[in-house]
Amino acid sequence: MRLKPIVLILFVFIVSISGSYAQRIMGAAILGVNATQVDGDEVYGYHKFGLNTGLAAIVPFGNNFAVTLENIYNQKGAHQRVRFSDSLDGSYDLKLNYLEVPVLVQYTDKDIVTFGAGMSWGRLVGISERKNGYDVPGTTLESGIYRSSDLNILIDVKFRLIERLRLNVRYAYSIRPIATREVIDSKTGVPNIRDQYNGMFTFRLYYVFNERISRESRRQRPQAVQ
């Protein structure tokens, strides 16, 4: 599946919309943290934490809708703490670093809460894997063990905190496998070939540079908090 044409089509779509709303295009700065896991690797729980940061362009259309295009640096992976005291301590750490382009359609309710859904395409730019405290030398970008790109579906909610600052909570999950690997079943001890997928919860601060804040929304926010 060729994803670059899809990204190009989405970009052209956003530019075409922006022709009618050129003076309303907004920019945003993003900074936050991911809690991630890899489904299918026998390492359970969202215990791998990573950085999520970048910039966004927001193109409003209609009364309460907008299309958002982001360009972010996104750290994913999996982590398991030390479980045993011997040399095979059971620890595991996988780092997957992506340059990612999420595209979302969003709806804002009462100028306070914004709901969004969309997709993202990410390019794998860095990777490392450690088992039992030791590097796995074969896990590299060049080895092809992990796909060079990750396609995700996104669900997104933003809550206005003050003025142009929002708290953003997002969930993302891979649409296609990021890898197909042999793993040892923790219950049976039998090796299995499994597809693996990224799962991610993200918590971010989202600051919009040139958003127009209406007087009505300024009056409503303190009342909503009460």
Task: Please write the tens of the pLDDT for every residue from 67-92.
Answer: 999 999 999 999 998 776 566 777 99
User: Could you say which DSSP state residue 223 is in?
Assistant: H
Percent of the chain with pLDDT strictly greater than 90: 64
Give the E-state strand segments of the chain in sequence order: 26-39, 48-61, 65-80, 92-109, 113-131, 134-135, 149-162, 165-174, 179-184, 191-208
Question: pLDDT value at position 223?
Answer: 45
Percent of the chain with pLDDT strictly greater than 70: 81
pLDDT band at 222 (very low <50, low <70, confident <90, very high): very low
The alpha-helical segments, DSSP class H, found in the chain are 4-18, 215-225
Question: pLDDT value at position 182?
Answer: 87
Q: How far apart are CA 118 and CA 100, in angstroms?
A: 13
- Find out if CATH 1.10.8.870 is the number for domain 4-225: no
pLDDT score of 1 more than 80: no
Task: Please write the tens of the pLDDT for every residue from 37-60.
Answer: 999 998 999 999 999 999 999 999
Task: Please write the tens of the pLDDT for every residue from 126-151.
Answer: 999 999 889 999 999 999 999 999 99
